[in-house]
Amino acid sequence: MKPRVILNAAMTLDGKIATKTGSSEISGEKDLIRVHKLRQECDAIMVGINTLLADNPRLTVHKISADPADNPIRVVVDSQARTPLNFRILSKEAPTIIAVSEKAPQERADNLLKKAEVIVCGKEKVDLDCLMENLGRRGVQTLMLEGGSTLNYSMLSAGLVHDLRVCVAPLIAGGSQAKTLVDGDGVEYMKDALRLRLKNSYTLNQDLILEYEVLN
Ligand SMILES: NC(=O)c1ccc[n+]([C@@H]2O[C@H](COP(=O)([O-])OP(=O)(O)OC[C@H]3O[C@@H](n4cnc5c(N)ncnc54)[C@H](OP(=O)(O)O)[C@@H]3O)[C@@H](O)[C@H]2O)c1
């Protein structure tokens, strides 16, 4: 069975999740604590390779717990095994899975195998259905998707996302090149847009938290 996927992101009022230079410090400290609590409730956290390369995240729950046992599995969607070997995602503080495609150079995949588990799914890009099936078989029941825009679009358009949690910060970044919550090809007509149901909303200081369920 595939995991239940919660997409979580912080964005500016104009929907940007990073500036055109990739700067992405958006939400306040209280929201960061919320994110770490949500991570702790999930079995795994997943990001795309561009997010990894831009932010070098730890993807742990270190703001709320120092116990490595509380850290979920970390998953990187990385067709070509480009994850740098010195990045924090490969630290020993949590298990890491690198999902690659058949296109990944064998030598790079072998190097990653020394520090992480490597799953091959798909011929060119990572086949997300295959990856979700694989994670489900490993007992991953809930997965937190933490971007970026390209992976968010692929996961949403494949019908693999069940819930969204968005922090809207009181900021406007602008920039047609700046990444938004969801990029990708997009739909042609608004009637084809993905429909959501607002389940809950609240504020954390100046940040607005919105919780949605995906309907179709
Ligand atoms: N504010 C926030 O909450 C937040 C959260 C996360 C990220 N961000 C920001 O988002 C930016 C990165 O977003 P991004 O859109 O450039 O990249 P991304 O979604 O992080 O990564 C996309 C890459 O993943 C790989 N991939 C492999 N299989 C895929 C598939 N089936 N579908 C989609 N992607 C697949 C592709 O690279 P390969 O073909 O090389 O594998 C693709 O280019 C960064 O600036 C980061 O700071 C912000």
| CATH number of the CATH domain containing 200 | 3.40.430.10
28 CA distance to ligand 1 centroid (A)?
23
What mean pLDDT is predicted for residues 191-212? Answer: 98
* Consecutive H or E run containing 39: helix 29-41
- The tally of domains found in the chain comes to 1
Q: What integer pLDDT is reported at residue 12 of this predicted model?
A: 98
What pLDDT is stored for residue 22 in this prediction? Answer: 95
Q: Is residue 79 a contact partner of residue 60, using CB atoms and an 8 Å limit?
A: no
Partner residues linked to 100 by β-bridges: 120
Bridge partners for 204 per DSSP? 207
Task: Quote the percentage of the chain above a pLDDT of 70.
Answer: 100
| Whether 32 contacts 60, CB under 8 Å | no
pLDDT at 206 over 80: yes
Q: Give the HSE-up count for residue 98: Cα atoms under 13 Å, Cβ half-sphere.
A: 28
The pLDDT value given to residue 37: 98
Question: Do the beta carbons of residue 75 and residue 135 sit within 8 Å?
Answer: yes
Identify the band that residue 2 occupies on the pLDDT scale cut at 50, 70 and 90. very high
Q: How confident is the model at residue 208 (pLDDT cuts 50, 70, 90)?
A: very high
Question: Does ligand 1 have an atom closer than 6 angstroms to the CB of 77?
Answer: yes
Instruction: Kindly state the percentage of the chain with pLDDT values over 90.
Output: 100
Measured CA to CA, the distance from residue 9 to residue 35 in angstroms comes to: 9
Q: What are the C-alpha distances in Å from 48 to residues 14, 57, 81? A: 22, 11, 12
Average pLDDT, the chain: 97
Q: Which atom of ligand 1 is nearest to the CA of 9?
A: 3
User: Are 173 and 99 contacting, i.e. CB atoms less than 8 angstroms apart?
Assistant: no
Predicted confidence at residue 108, as pLDDT, reads: 98
pLDDT tens-digit map of 101-121: 999 999 999 999 999 999 999
Cα–Cα distances (Å) from 105 to 79, 82, 100, in that order, read: 10, 9, 10
Q: pLDDT (tens digit, 9 = 90+) per residue, 13-37?
A: 999 999 999 999 999 999 999 999 9
Q: Is the CB of 55 under 6 A from ligand 1?
A: yes
Q: What is the pLDDT of residue 189?
A: 98
pLDDT category, 58, cuts 50, 70, 90?
very high
Q: Which domain holds residue 65?
A: 4-214
Q: What pLDDT is stored for residue 115 in this prediction?
A: 97
pTM, entire model: 0.98
Cβ of 182 below 6 Å from ligand 1: no
pLDDT digits (tens, 9 = 90+) for 66-82: 999 999 999 999 999 99
Buried b (16+ CB within 10 A) or exposed e, 39-58: bbebbbbbbbbbbbebbeee
pLDDT for the residue 43? 98
For residue 195, how far is its CA from the centre of ligand 1 (angstroms)?
22
Atom of ligand 1 nearest to the CA of 147: 6
Long-range Cβ pairs for the range 54-61 (8 Å, 24+): 54/18, 54/22, 54/24, 54/148, 55/24, 56/87, 56/88, 56/89, 57/88, 57/89, 57/146, 58/88, 58/89, 58/91, 58/93, 59/89, 59/94, 59/146, 60/93, 60/94, 61/36, 61/37
Statement: residue 216 has pLDDT above 80: no
